Amino acid sequence: MDFQLMQETWPQLLDAVPVTLILAVVSLGLGFVLAMGIAMLRLSKNRVLQNSAYGFVYIFRSTPLLVQIFLIYYGSGQFRTFFDDIGLWVFLKEPWFCAILALTLNTGAYSSEIIRGGIQSVNWGQIEAAKSIGMSAVKRFRRIVFPQALRQALPAYGNEIILMVKSTSLASTITILDITGIAKKIIAETWSPIEVFIIAGAIYLSLNFIVTRAVNWLEINLSPEQHRGRVSMIGRLRSVMLKR
């Protein structure tokens, strides 16, 4: 074990953390919005909308993310003149744009199923009750369905976040220097894979550890009635605010 090398590579790998984080956060954010839309389509009464949403989800869940990234990044090059004409080439030539697009579509497909499950888990009686006291569809969704769906979907969504943090590593295959990209570069230069792997692995593990903790914390705070006896920050805040 070459500790000297570990000490030297440590800051370089740490510098790449923001790249990984930006990839993950941006595509998770955009993907969540996309997923909400797809989940709505899947739950709509229109057969065509339902099926096209299902088709999208099925296709993106059945193919490797690497193919999706390559298809967008390298595949678009085949139609360069076309994309140039409609003004999209400035985006498609950028690895960052392609990586985020692929990651967004991918997580959108996976998360939509999670959200759909959450929405469907909401008790029908509650929706009927909300209807009977005259809540509009939007209000019903915002006050009754959405909060409960979110809570129900949270554990599964936590897993999705971790999968996404791992998936960002594929961006390194299209020249983006994220943690994995830098790690590969250092390994190829120094030929000491084990040292670099330990540091890069530790960084990924700590990122995912933080995600797990955060999701856990949210879970407890969003459903205080199921975790009575534990300290609940949001619950406490809520009660303070209600008193006022």
Partner 1 sequence: MDLSLLSYGDQGWGDEMIWGAVMTLVVAVSSFLVGIILAVGFAAMKLSNYKSLKLIADIYTTVLRGIPELLVIYLVFFGGGTLLRMVASGVFGYDGYVDLPIFVTGVICIGVSSGAYSTEVIRGAVLTVPKGQIEAARAIGMGKATRFWRILVPQVARFALPGLGNTWQLTLKDTSLISVIGLVEIMRQAAVGAGSTKEPFTFYITAFVLYLALTSITNRGFLRAEIWAARGVRKS
**Residues in contact with partner 1 by the rule CB under 8 A:** 59, 61-68, 70-71, 74-79, 162, 166-170, 172-173, 180, 183-184, 187-188, 191, 193-194, 197, 200-201, 204-205, 208-209
- Minimum CB separation of residue 119 from partner 1 in Å reads 22
Query: Nearer to partner 1 by C-beta: 129 or 194?
Result: 194
The DSSP 8-state label assigned to residue 74 in this structure reads T
Nearer to partner 1, 149 or 171 (CB): 171
Number of other CB atoms surrounding residue 109 within 10 Å: 22
Instruction: Note the Cα 228 to chain centre separation in Å.
Output: 30
- Least distance CB 104 / partner 1 (angstroms): 17
Taking the least distance from each CB to partner 1, the nearer of 180 and 221 is: 180
Are the C-beta atoms of residues 144 and 135 closer than 8 Å to each other?
A: yes
Question: If you search the block for the tokens 């996976």, which residue do you land on?
Answer: 110
- Residue position matching structure tokens 């969504």: 157
The nearer residue to partner 1, 148 or 172, going by C-beta atoms, is 172
Task: Between 67 and 90, name the residue whose CB sits nearer to partner 1.
Answer: 67
* 220 in Cβ contact with 227 (< 8 Å): yes
Q: Smallest distance from the beta carbon of 75 to partner 1, in angstroms?
A: 4
- Shortest distance (Å) from residue 117 CB to partner 1: 15
Q: Please name the residues in contact with 238: beta carbons below 8 A apart, sequence gap of 6 or more.
A: none
CB nearer partner 1, residue 35 or residue 196: 196
Minimum distance, C-beta of residue 71 to partner 1, in the bound complex (Å): 4
81 CB-near residues (< 8 Å, 6+ apart): none
- For the chain, the C-alpha Rg in angstroms (whole number) is 22
Give the start-end residues of each E strand in the chain: none
Closest distance of CB 78 from partner 1, Å: 4
